[in-house]
Amino acid sequence: MGFDELLKSKKVLICCGSGGVGKTTLSAALGVRAAELGLKVLVLTIDPAKRLATSLGLDQLGDEQRQIGQGRFVGELYASMLDMKKTFDDFIIRLAPSPAIAERVLKNNVYQQVSTALNGSQEYTSLEKLLQIMAQKKFDIVILDTPPTKHAIDFLHAPIKIHTLFQDSIIKWFLMPFTTLDKMSLGLMNRGTKLAFKAFEKLAGSEFLSNLTEFFASIREWQKALRDRTAEVHRLLTSNSTGFVLVTGFNSVKIEEARFFERTLKKGGYYLSAIIINRAFPLWEQSEIGVGELIDDKKDSLGENYRLITEYYRSMQKFYRSQQTAFKNFAGEVRQNVIFALLPDFDQDIHDVDSLKQVADRLVEEFKEQKTL
Amino acid sequence: MNLTNQQLVFVTGKGGVGKSVAAASIAWSEARKGKRVCLVELGSQSFYESFFEIRGIAYDPSELVPDVHIALFTPEDCLKEYVLHYVKVKQLYEIFFQNKVMRAFLNAAPALAELSILGKLTGALRGIIKSDYDLFVVDCFSTGHALALFRAPFGLSTVFKSGPLYEQSRDISKILTDPQLTHYVLVTLAEEMPVVETGELISQMRSELKCEPTLICNKLLNPPLTLDQRNQLSLAENDVTMKKFLDYLAFKEKSQNMQLQAIKGFAHSFYGVPIILNATSGQDYVEQFAKGLEKLYGI
């Protein structure tokens, strides 16, 4: 399987990777390729730094789905940026049993401070948005560019934190002493819980705690809806029409991370479709051995300056070659059905549809070459 | 790099620009000047273990080289120490952390982990804990997450209206905005996206933290010949690879210069660190990097 087959066979591609590896650019490049193949594709980015917008030469990319390069492709390319606050608010409004309750939550001080700041809420919201988009059935394929995390795997772990927070038991726990606020309920709590609660109150102050309790009281009603939603997300992520693409940089630390990512996905029942090693070598240093050799015999006649620049060339070449060896060892370890691609460091800034197309062409081409590795 | 008496240095930047190496190099060069330095990495996994090929980097600092100690501050460890500090009784804090519900809440709660990390880092400055170090150099999170870390105490002092967390948030905010105590370093590459992001970050930090961050521009290309000298080389007709290489250098240098110009739009000076191609070990890498921190380029 190559990238073309991958794009044609999946409904969702999730691009993961730690920050700074070019995830957004590659998501956009895959989007361009999908549109060239005649698909109707949406690239959804979450990144607050608006990198996809820069990648596409658009200054402002909003919550709405904007068509890119209309008429340039056989298919259609759309891009959209996640508005976290709006998605979270919409989510609350839709799940709330009544508009009054929704309003109470939206106005709650704790909700306002925490909704977009909760650990994992960015990831949770992006998956919520993905579900909404999938329900519209408007696109052949959606490419999700995930938020920048320290480690690629964080994307999968983060939503679990949110889910746990909204679980029935924790909500009940926070409600207990305040909804009934009498000695009885405190008496009914076990000793450990009571002490932990008191310790928390001492730390956070009672005003915060009552705000928090009000927040949990408001959302108590929609436990089932939340649980269903989480199950739906999980179904979508483990579906065989969803593929994960790991985008990574090129050094031994990143390769270690890729190895961990691959193993964790396998364990969790997710489908890893591709590993893209970005900026693995400069364009002059071709991946095949033999190309990229200098004409050595003339060097004496060309003088000191030629010697100097040759030395510089050699140190750069050595640097990139040692990285490639590490990659090849890693590629050998991974399953056969995962696409591997090494991308060069392009001699230009990637910021418009034309340059994205170049990246996409290279992806397809690189893969063909590397199959014979 | 010219640090005066600051006791806390945060190093941040877009992912992949070389923050961690920059932080280690700052720790190195400050230790050379006779300070006792603690290099701190944040998060749950250590980068420096594989980088320096050592083991056992943990919450309690250990010696990396004389005068540079190294520690990994995980949010869990910071939270534990933090809660223990406030609840005093050890049994109580164990109950606190063994409680399933409380743990779920603490894991997801925004800013609590951040506050506890900052609490630990500023503990000595607030006179709460005794410190063995003159300086903490923090290999901080990347751009967006770092900003969330710095903002945490400001946000929290509006959420908590009273109690120890309120007072602590307020005190930490004061330290983060005091240029005599805290310094910020931003690492970037001379490439369009990192430069744009650094520009945005620097203006946010100036307005919110009232600080003037130091800029490090990493992985600069420094060919041994100037463009003119390279153009004067008379290459053999079939020396295709060298031609390609020279084109590459010309292109890279041109875009690098453009980005250094763009940096002018938001900074007065920066440290330039050349790309390091021949490091034999993590320590060698750090020492080569530290040389780049000796000269400040005015713009």
pLDDT in tens, A162-195: 666 666 666 666 665 544 444 444 555 666 666 6
Instruction: Enumerate the residues of chain A whose CB falls inside 8 A of the CB of residue B239.
Output: 294-295, 298
Averaged pLDDT for residues A109-132: 75
pLDDT above 60: residue A209: yes
In a domain, B134, yes or no: yes
Please state whether beta strands B68-73 and B135-139 pair in parallel, antiparallel, or not at all (unpaired). Answer: unpaired
Candidates A248, A256, A308, A315; CA nearest to A285 is A315
Cβ <8 Å between A20 and B197? no
Task: Note whether A312 and B224 are within 8 A (CB).
Answer: yes
In a domain, B91, yes or no: yes
In a domain, A70, yes or no: yes
Nearest-Cα residue of chain B relative to residue A111: B159
Residue A350 confidence (pLDDT): 72
In a domain, B51, yes or no: yes
Q: Rounded to whole angstroms, how far apart are CA atoms A9 and A245?
A: 14
Q: Rounded to whole angstroms, how far apart are CA atoms B95 and B115?
A: 21
Q: Which residue has the higher pLDDT, A143 or B268?
A: A143
Q: Rounded to whole angstroms, how far apart are CA atoms B203 and B208?
A: 9
With vertex at residue B295, the alpha carbon angle to CA B294 and CA B299, rounded to the nearest 5 degrees, is 150
**Which 8-state DSSP code applies to residue A359?**
H
Tokens of A274: 């591709």
The residue among A46, A212, A295, A315 with the most chain B CBs within 10 A of its CB, best to mutate, is A295
Instruction: Enumerate the residues of chain A whose CB falls inside 8 A of the CB of residue B165.
Output: 203-205, 208
From A194, A226, A258, the end of a domain falls on: A226
Instruction: Enumerate the residues of chain B whose CB falls inside 8 A of the CB of residue A119.
Output: 107-110, 113
In a domain, A233, yes or no: no
Measured from the Cβ of residue A228, the count of other Cβ atoms closer than 10 Å reads: 12
Half-sphere exposure of A220 (CA within 13 A, CB side): 16
Q: Closest CB to B101: pick one of A117, A161, A173.
A: A173
Report the gap between the CA of B275 and the closest CA in chain A (Å): 10
* In the block, residue with structure tokens 């926070």: A174
Most confident of A121-130, A199-208, A272-281, A364-373: A272-281
In a domain, B236, yes or no: no
Chain A and chain B share a number of CB contacts under 8 A equal to 197
In a domain, A234, yes or no: no
Q: Which amino acid is at A252?
A: S
Starting from the edge strand earliest in sequence, which strands make up the sheet with A339-345, in order?
A66-68, A76-81, A40-45, A141-145, A12-16, A242-248, A272-282, A339-345
Of A21-25, A79-83, A133-137, A177-181, the range with the lowest mean pLDDT is A177-181
CA quadruple B14, B18, B19, B22: dihedral positive or negative?
A: negative
In a domain, A232, yes or no: no
| Overall number of domains in chain A | 2
Most confident of A62-66, A85-89, B166-170: B166-170
Nearest-Cα residue of chain A relative to residue B154: A113
Measured from the Cβ of residue A107, the count of other Cβ atoms closer than 10 Å reads: 11
A106 & A135 share domain: no
In a domain, A231, yes or no: no
In a domain, A215, yes or no: yes
Q: Is A179 helix (H, G, I), strand (E, B) or coil?
A: helix
In a domain, B251, yes or no: no
CA quadruple B174, B175, B181, B183: dihedral positive or negative?
A: negative
Task: Note whether B144 and A49 are within 8 A (CB).
Answer: yes
Q: Is A22 exposed, middle or buried (0-12, 13-18, 19+ CB in 10 A)?
A: buried
Residue B4 confidence (pLDDT): 73
In a domain, A313, yes or no: yes
Average pLDDT, chain A: 77
Q: Is A58 helix (H, G, I), strand (E, B) or coil?
A: coil
In a domain, B2, yes or no: no
Candidates A174, A95, A97; CA nearest to A131 is A95
What is the domain extent for residue B46?
8-223+267-298
What is the domain extent for residue A80?
3-85+121-155+240-370
Q: Rounded to whole angstroms, how far apart are CA atoms B242 and A294?
A: 6
Task: Decide if A260 touches B, using CB distance below 8 A.
Answer: no
A311 & A182 share domain: no
The residue among B47, B54, B101 with the most chain A CBs within 10 A of its CB, best to mutate, is B101
Residue B240 confidence (pLDDT): 82
From A191, A226, A261, the end of a domain falls on: A226
Cβ <8 Å between B159 and A109? yes
Cβ within 8 Å of B, A 289-318: 291-295, 298, 302, 305-306, 308-313, 315-316, 318
Q: Closest CB to B86: pick one of A20, A21, A203.
A: A203
Q: CATH number of the domain at B201, please.
A: 3.40.50.300
| Overall number of domains in chain B | 1
Nearest-Cα residue of chain B relative to residue A309: B224
Q: Rounded to whole angstroms, how far apart are CA atoms B148 and A163?
A: 22
Cβ <8 Å between A119 and B236? no
Q: Which residue has the higher pLDDT, A25 or A336?
A: A25
Cβ <8 Å between B160 and A195? no
Report the gap between the CA of A258 and the closest CA in chain B (Å): 14
Long-range contacts: B145-150, Cβ < 8 Å, 24+?
A: B145/A148, B145/A150, B146/B10, B146/B12, B147/B201, B147/B204, B147/B205, B148/A117, B148/B111, B148/B114, B149/B42, B149/B114, B149/B117, B149/B118, B150/B10, B150/B176, B150/B205, B150/B208, B150/B209
Cβ within 8 Å of B, A 170-199: 170, 173, 192-193, 195-196, 199
Nearest-Cα residue of chain A relative to residue B45: A151
In a domain, B148, yes or no: yes
In order of A123, A241, A278, B114, B199, the CA distances from A265 in angstroms are 17, 15, 20, 28, 36
Q: CATH number of the domain at A257, please.
A: 3.40.50.300
Residue B230 confidence (pLDDT): 92
In a domain, B232, yes or no: no
Confidence tier at A372 by pLDDT (50, 70, 90): very low
Q: Closest CB to A119: pick one of B16, B83, B107.
A: B107
Task: Decide if A2 touches B, using CB distance below 8 A.
Answer: no
From A180, A198, A226, the end of a domain falls on: A226
Averaged pLDDT for residues A22-40: 93
A356 & A254 share domain: yes
Report the gap between the CA of A141 and the closest CA in chain B (Å): 27
The residue among A84, A149, A154, A284 with the most chain B CBs within 10 A of its CB, best to mutate, is A284
In order of A115, A189, B237, the CA distances from A311 in angstroms are 55, 74, 20
Nearest-Cα residue of chain A relative to residue B140: A150
A146 & A291 share domain: yes
Which parts of chain B have pLDDT scores under 50?
Answer: none
Instruction: Enumerate the residues of chain B whose CB falls inside 8 A of the CB of residue A206.
Output: 162-163
Q: Is B287 helix (H, G, I), strand (E, B) or coil?
A: helix
In a domain, A235, yes or no: no
Ramachandran bin of A368, using left for φ above 0, alpha for ψ from -120 to 50, beta for the remaining angles: alpha
Q: Which amino acid is at A132?
A: Q
| Enclosing H/E stretch for B270 | strand B269-274
Cβ <8 Å between A351 and B155? no
Whether ipTM > 0.85 holds is no
Report the gap between the CA of A190 and the closest CA in chain B (Å): 11
